[in-house]
Amino acid sequence: MAWQGAGLEDVVTSRVHRYNTVKEVIMNICRFENERVAGQVAMMMWVLWNNRNNCVWNGKKEPGRDLGVKASVMWHEWHELQNFRHTNSPPQQEQQRNSGSLVQEQQRVITQQWQKPPVGWYKCNVDAGFHNTLGRTSAGWCVRDHMGHLVMAGTSWMQ
């Protein structure tokens, strides 16, 4: 139901029957789908992972269809912010600084900060990038403790 709620059911289902591993499915999506679809799939996987953790650690879970809609909304918000950041280079931002909505958006982005996990817990942050010109995907992650100290980190490239 989650994939259906995000409008991605056909994208995933058609590949699950053709490939043997999740990695093969993901790599095929990244290689052959457009940025929007690949991004929505990545966000859906994060939302599912987050829901699983919330169920395991807090005993709370959301209905599948809600997760799909949530992933779709989160992807669109993230994509809009990326477009905003790329189309408003620093010189343009200076010229437009008097625009109230732009100033509010800049302040919201600037004040968004990493939050420490509870004492005794670790927090793992991950990110991925799609490099069309190289035909590759990159990934990175880091684990920090409740004091914000780096515990371990890693990066990788995938074809």
pLDDT tens track for 79-126: 887 777 666 655 444 444 445 555 555 555 555 577 888 888 898 888
- Cα separation, 96 vs 103, whole angstroms: 9
Task: Give the Cα-Cα-Cα angle 158, 67, 56 (nearest 5 degrees).
Answer: 80
pLDDT tens for 27-54 read 999 999 998 899 999 999 999 999 999 8
Select the more confidently predicted residue: 96 or 17: 17
Residue, of 130 and 41, whose pLDDT is higher = 41
How many percent of the chain have pLDDT more than 70? 82
Cα 54 from chain centroid?
Answer: 17
**Comparing C-alpha atoms, which of 15, 66, 58 is closest to residue 37?**
15
DSSP run (H or E) holding 158: strand 150-158
**Mean pLDDT over the full length of the chain:** 81
Question: What pLDDT is attached to residue 24?
Answer: 92
* Least confident residue range of 15-19, 26-30, 134-138: 134-138
Predicted TM-score of the model (pTM): 0.56
Q: What is the pLDDT of residue 88?
A: 60
* For helices 22-32 and 35-58, angle between their N-to-C axes, nearest 10 degrees: 150
* pLDDT at position 41: 93
Burial 96-135 (b: 16+ CB within 10 A, else e): eeeeeeeeebbeeeeeeeeeeeeeeeebeeeebeeeeeee
State the residue for tokens 């056909």.
Answer: 10
Q: Cβ distance 45 to 8 under 8 Å?
A: no
User: What integer pLDDT is reported at residue 94 of this predicted model?
Assistant: 47
pLDDT at 155: 86
